[in-house]
Structure 1
Amino acid sequence: MNGRRRLWLAAGLAVLLALMVVLAAVIAGSNKTPSSAPSSPSPTATPTPSATQTRKPTAAAPAPAPAPPTIPELPAAPMNILVIGSDSRENAKEENNQTITTGQASDQRSDCLMLIHVPADRHKVYGISIMRDNWVDIPGYGASKVNSALGLGGTPLVVRTVESLLGAHVDHTVMLDFHGFKLLTDALGGIDVNVTLPFTSTIETQHQFVAGINHLDGQAALEFVRERHAFVDGDYQRVRDQQTFLRALLVKLSGGVQNPAGVLGLVQFAANDLTVDDGFDPMSVAILAYGLRTVDPTASVFFTLPTAGTGTSPDGQSIVLPDYAGIGEVAAALRDDTLPQYVAAHGY
């Protein structure tokens, strides 16, 4: 797969859409103004029946309205969700299912990998970006770029690779593509992003991103999170921009009306653009979304798994070298439930 094809989906795509589905549900009802209750009709005088009058039968009371849908509370336990962005220009879900079913490799890569850690108290979330060119061990295949696991063995192999790298159990997986990302960004009315490093996109419309607040529709947002060629440090700045977009998204999604019916409706709306594990059905997604209504977006933290610079693989590929000592610190923080202390010590 050539570099031009890779441009169709950059590393942060899946994270952004997944968090829309998981967190946007908390504002699903915020853009809906409840209809006013109908005013009661003015009472009219009822004549006293005479000896020749008979009362008409009283109309039957209307049937009670159906009870509004309810969503169970999310259990008070930490959760790790692996968000995967495929670079497939076809159908990521179908390619993944074929790989899992037949064992035949597919021509797609996970150009986004982010582990979303949801603490038990659900006051904030932690997003750990894994750069796509990290040269790691793919279980059963040996050393390769981490993004190759998806094509080799589908989402199960991606999970095994990340679990091996971080020593953390992955509870659920979500995989998405760029079509749903644009669709949901536009459905939300666009996102306001604070651009700290202005640039002109090298992708599709060559959108110009100026310094300061930019209101991005779906297409512009996609170019913002995909761009890497416009930057001296390439993927490193792209990951930072993805995290900037995600923070802006969380701010937009905060403070809305907590509406179980809206949560379920939004999850169903996004279902066609999601590939999830067998245990993560729409109701499970809705439970998570509703449970995260207490998250403070300004307190949530996103950082990149430590790396040791760049290099060249034995077969000549440009790669990112993992910082295994730094990764060990992150793994220990996940294992010991000390991510707050870790991010404080590292200034995130």
Structure 2
Amino acid sequence: MNILVLGSDISGSAREATEQQEATGGSAPQDADTIMLIHVPADRHQIYGISIMRDNWVNIPGYGVMKINAGLQLAGPKLVVATVESLLHTHIDHYVMTDFGGLKAFVDAVGGVDVDVPIPFTATVPFTAAPGTEHTFTQGINHVDGEAALQFVRERHAFVDGDYQRVRDQQAFVRALMVRLLSTGTVRDAASAIRIVAIASFVLTVDQGFDPTTLATLAYALRVTDPAASVFFTLPTAGTGFSANGQSIVLPDYGGIAEVAAALAADRLGDYAAAHGL
């Protein structure tokens, strides 16, 4: 199963914005700060998370070459799904999207998460909190609530390599959330899985086929997954540059992307990860 995880940077409700887009065919004031393809193998023993840099300069079907995160603004999550499917030559079964408020609410609802912070920093912008409430993250395990989690996954200005470290931090957060849900008994039984899905239904935007029953079934099936064995990496890039109109962009490494696509198609991401020391 392939699930595309999206984080909208909208200041309001991503769900309402998406519903409006689908009803009118118009654009919405949201871009994708997080784009991560989650591949769940049939045995469910581990998952693979492939982060896609939001500034990748790629072809967006029907719109031409631009930053991949613009798809969310142009036509909502379905267009981002189509773009990633085209880029990786794969089928995406479902998408899950959240916004600032949704992320905060979900993390608080599960009691916070313990994130292994690789590089210490103090958030440069509080995003949704009052000035002066910027969170400081120390190297190692940090227990974060919803507000701190939001600051952690959004920060890029504090790092020398900006978005690249932000993507690695997003991967660390997803792993920590997996640990919280899978290793603490949160989804160890069907009733608990249904409870988590009930919470998620209020804070996540999903495709129509990803109904609560399907989501609860997957959550329960993932109880055998080992978060420590799961692998996260970033889709290969060829550095950064500028577009003809002066935008700062990330250049796709199409040779590297083809390797990932082939491994994904053959269900051999484990071999790919081993070969690249991931």
Q: TM-score range by the shorter chain?
A: over 0.9
Partner of 1:231: 159
Shift of 1:259: 1.9
> Which SS does the other structure have where 1:254 is aligned?
helix
1:87-144 superposed Cα distances (whole Å, 9 cap, x missing partner): 1112111111221221111111112111100001110000000010000001111000
Give the stretch that moved more between structures: 121-130 or 249-258. Answer: 249-258
1:45-100 superposed Cα distances (whole Å, 9 cap, x missing partner): xxxxxxxxxxxxxxxxxxxxxxxxxxxxxxxxxx0011111111121111112212
Shift of 1:287: 0.8
Partner of 2:252: 322
Partner of residue 137 from structure 2, selected from 196, 206, 209:
209
Using the alignment, how far apart are the partners of 1:220 and 1:105 within structure 2?
30
Structure 2 residue runs of 5 or longer lacking an equivalent are 127-132
* Residue 298 (structure 1) aligned with residue 221 (structure 2): no
Partner of 1:128: 50
Give the stretch that moved more between structures: 208-217 or 197-206. Answer: 208-217
Give the stretch that moved more between structures: 156-165 or 182-191. Answer: 182-191
Partner of 1:196: 118
Shift of 1:243: 1.3
Using the alignment, how far apart are the partners of 1:335 and 1:87 within structure 2?
31
Superposed counterparts of 1:108-123, under 5 Å: 108-123=30-45
Shift of 1:272: 1.6
Partner of residue 265 from structure 2, selected from 326, 329, 335:
335
Shift of 1:296: 0.7
Shift of 1:322: 0.3
Using the alignment, how far apart are the partners of 2:245 and 2:59 within structure 1?
15
1:9-31 superposed Cα distances (whole Å, 9 cap, x missing partner): xxxxxxxxxxxxxxxxxxxxxxx
Give the stretch that moved more between structures: 248-257 or 328-337. Answer: 248-257
Give the stretch that moved more between structures: 190-199 or 106-115. Answer: 190-199
Using the alignment, how far apart are the partners of 1:258 and 1:241 within structure 2?
26
Shift of 1:347: 0.7
Partner of 1:155: 77
1:311-344 superposed Cα distances (whole Å, 9 cap, x missing partner): 0011110000000000000000111111110000
Give the stretch that moved more between structures: 84-93 or 187-196. Answer: 187-196
Partner of residue 281 from structure 1, selected from 194, 211, 218:
211
Using the alignment, how far apart are the partners of 1:94 and 1:246 within structure 2?
25
AA at the equivalent of 1:332: A
Using the alignment, how far apart are the partners of 1:313 and 1:262 within structure 2?
48
Superposed counterparts of 1:234-249, under 5 Å: 234-249=162-177
Shift of 1:269: 1.9
* Residue 143 (structure 1) aligned with residue 65 (structure 2): yes
Identity within the alignment, %: 64
Using the alignment, how far apart are the partners of 1:212 and 1:106 within structure 2?
38
> Which SS does the other structure have where 2:115 is aligned?
strand
> Which SS does the other structure have where 1:158 is aligned?
helix
Superposed counterparts of 1:74-93, under 5 Å: 79-93=1-15
Assess if the C-alpha contact under 8 Å between 2:112 and 2:145 holds in 1. yes
> Which SS does the other structure have where 1:269 is aligned?
helix
Using the alignment, how far apart are the partners of 1:116 and 1:234 within structure 2?
23
> Which SS does the other structure have where 2:277 is aligned?
coil
Using the alignment, how far apart are the partners of 2:205 and 2:118 within structure 1?
33
Give the stretch that moved more between structures: 241-250 or 86-95. Answer: 241-250
Give the stretch that moved more between structures: 145-154 or 182-191. Answer: 182-191
Assess if the C-alpha contact under 8 Å between 2:40 and 2:48 holds in 1. yes
1:215-237 superposed Cα distances (whole Å, 9 cap, x missing partner): 21211111111100011100001
Shift of 1:207: 1.3
Larger Rg: 1
Superposed counterparts of 1:28-43, under 5 Å: none
